[in-house]
Chain A
C-alpha cells in the first residue's frame, strides 16, 4: 500500500481545458468516471481528482474546449535509429484497398529507419494468455476472471475505483511494450550500438496509450520513447503510402493478430472461455459485477473503454464501424490460422518473455494523513450533510453528484449554499413561490 510511485497519489492529468471556450456547463463533470472534474466557483471546469485518461470529457464537450496534451515529437529528432511500431488500428484507417504491408512501407518512406509490425506479437500474446490461464487453472492460482492488461484506461480505472480487482490483472506486458523492447535489443546488437541510440515511437489510436509510456504507474521505464496519434500523422502517411514503390514484405501475421483494434479482437485468438466488453459505462458495469463476485466462471475478459474497442479511440480518423468492416475483411483475408510457432512461443513464455518488469499495480488512492478517528468523523459529517441534500443529483452546485458534493463541503472545497435546493433557489421551488 505504501510503495506507490509519487505519480499515483497526486492528481496528475493530461487534459487541458481552454478557458476561453469553456462556458461552465456540467457535461464533462458528469461524464467523468472518477469524478475528477468540478465546476465550482465560477464558470470554468477544473480537474481536481484522479484522471484515468479515458477521454470521455473530450468526447462530450460541445465546445471543443478540452483536449489531450499530446506527445512531444522532439523526442525523436536526435535519434540515430528511429523505429516505428503501430497499433493495428492503423490498418483500418485507409480503406479496403490499402493492405497492412502498404501502410508499413508508407511508414518506412516517411523516414523511419525501421518499421515493426505489431500484429505478429499480438498473435504471440494470444498464446501467452492461453498458457497463463492454463497454468493458473492447474495451480488454482489467480482470482477469476482475469482482466486484460492491454487497455491502460481499464488498468487505471481499476486502480482508482476497483482496487480490489487489481489482482485480476495478469502481470503480462502489453504487446506494444514487448515490441519496443525486442526491437531495441535486436537492433542494438545488429548495429553494435547502445540501446539509447535507438528511439522507438508508437502510433496510437488514443491519448491513454501515449500517456501511459510516461507514467511510472505503469512501468518504471517504458521501452517506447514517444507516441503520436494516428490523426497526427494521417495526412503525411497517406501521401507516403501513395508514393510506395518498394516491394518488401514487412507484415507477417495471420488474421488473428490484425483484428485487435476491434472489440473482441484480442480474445478471438484465445481458445478459452473469454468475454469482450467495450464502452466506458459497460466496462464499469462489468467491473462492478466482478467486484460482487460474479462472472468467476469466465477465464479472461477483454475490456476496452472506447466503444467498439480501439477503433473508437480519440485519435482515429476513419469511422469506427467502417474501420471494423475493413478489419473484419482483413481477418478473413489472412485467415484465422495463427502463424506463430506454438512451441517456440511456449519456450519464450517459460523464459519470462511476456512478463512485465513491474508485475503489480498499486491502488491509486489519495493518501491522507488523517487518523482513523478523524476519517470516521469525516465520513459521519458527509453522511449528515447528505441527509440535508435533495438527492436530485443535478450537478448545479458544481460537483458531479450529491455524495461528492457532501464530501467537497466537508473538505472545504464547496459551501452548502452552493446547493440550489438547500438554499431554496432551485427552479421548481422558485416557480412554486411565484404561483402563490
Chain B
C-alpha cells in the first residue's frame, strides 16, 4: 500500500466518493474532525496499513483507490470499539462494512483469504440453511492454497466429540436460499438506480 505522504491527493481525488459512502452507509463522514478516538480504541491498528482515523480522512479527501485497496478494511473485526467511542456518533463499523462491499464490487480486495472465508461461509448457509463448520474449513483450505489451516485442531475436536461429519440441512433451506436470491435481485436493482 502506498504510504500516506506519497499519495497524489489532487490527481486521484474522486469528489463523489464521500457521497457514495455516506449514502450507502447512512453515516455522516463529513462530521469527522480527526480526534483519533477510533484509532486509539482499535486493537487492530498494528496490522492496518492506514489507521481508521486516516481511512475516515481519506474518504473525505476522495481517495477512493487508496481506501478500497487498503488492508485495514479487511482486517477490521467489527468489534465496535470505534463506533462506541466516536464523539460524532458515526457508526464507523458500518462505514467499514460499506467499504468492504465497494471493494468487492471494484475488484480491489486486498486480503483475499478473508473475503474467501466470508463467501464460503455464506455459500454454506445458502446451501444448508445453517453453516457447516467442517465443510467450510475443508473448502477454505482447498481454495485458499493453505491446506493445513487448523489441521492441528482436528484430532482434539474429534476427541471431544465436537466434529460434525455431515451438514445439518434444515427443512426451510429453500426459504433461506430464496432470501439470498431476493437480496441479490435487490442489490442488482439498487446498483442500476
A and B are interacting partners: no
A interface residues, Cβ below 8 angstroms from B: none
